[in-house]
Amino acid sequence: MSPTANATVYIDYDNTGNPDDYEVLDVDYLHSTMIRDTTDHDMSGALIFATEKGSGVDGPAVSFASAWGQDPAVSRDDQHLSLDLGTTVIPFDKIAGTKKGPGKAVPGETLEFVISIENFGQTEVSFVHGRCPQSPRS
């Protein structure tokens, strides 16, 4: 991978979503850096993103060029651990929502709910629409 600006790169090899699991690298503008999971040799589903260097995990995003494939330096005909035939690397949207409110309603009572939407993806999400699947009588 090679960032388009000085960047801090965050790598979650197993995509747990837990920031404590991130490997963190500072990578300079257009510097080429190889990323490899040395624990299980499986990059399937890995989450990799970059922010402006030193700005933290929630800092402004930095674009980067990447290629995903077999590492010829460690791949031999008899070694299957590095055999990755490649895939497309694209940005993604991933949002999740939660709703908190009272479990039961009393006639005449005003009900208040808190609906939270969180963006776990690496692209901006706007115009999020929600719908409550419950009927008015439930």
Q: How confident is the model over 119-124, as a mean pLDDT?
A: 72
User: How confident is the model over 66-115, as pLDDT tens digits?
Assistant: 877 766 666 666 655 555 555 555 555 667 788 888 878 788 888 888 88
Is this prediction's pTM over 0.75? no
Query: pLDDT: is 9 or 133 the higher one?
Result: 9
Cα(126)–Cα(44) distance, rounded to whole angstroms?
A: 28
Cα(6)–Cα(28) distance, rounded to whole angstroms?
A: 4
Given a cut of 90, is residue 43 above it in pLDDT? no
Query: In the prediction, which pLDDT does 101 show?
Result: 82
Query: In the prediction, which pLDDT does 106 show?
Result: 83
Which residue, 61, 58, 66, is CA-closest to 36?
A: 66
Query: In the prediction, which pLDDT does 51 show?
Result: 92
Cα(130)–Cα(80) distance, rounded to whole angstroms?
A: 45
Given a cut of 90, is residue 37 above it in pLDDT? no
β strands within the chain, DSSP E: 2-3, 7-12, 23-27, 47-52, 64-65, 95-100, 114-119
Neighbouring residues of 109: CB distance < 8 A, sequence distance ≥ 6 = none
Most confident of 49-58, 59-68, 82-91: 49-58
Question: With b meaning 16 or more CB within 10 Å and e meaning fewer, what string describes 56-84?
Answer: eeeeebbebeeebeeeeeeeeeeeeeeeb
Q: How confident is the model over 1-11, as a mean pLDDT?
A: 92
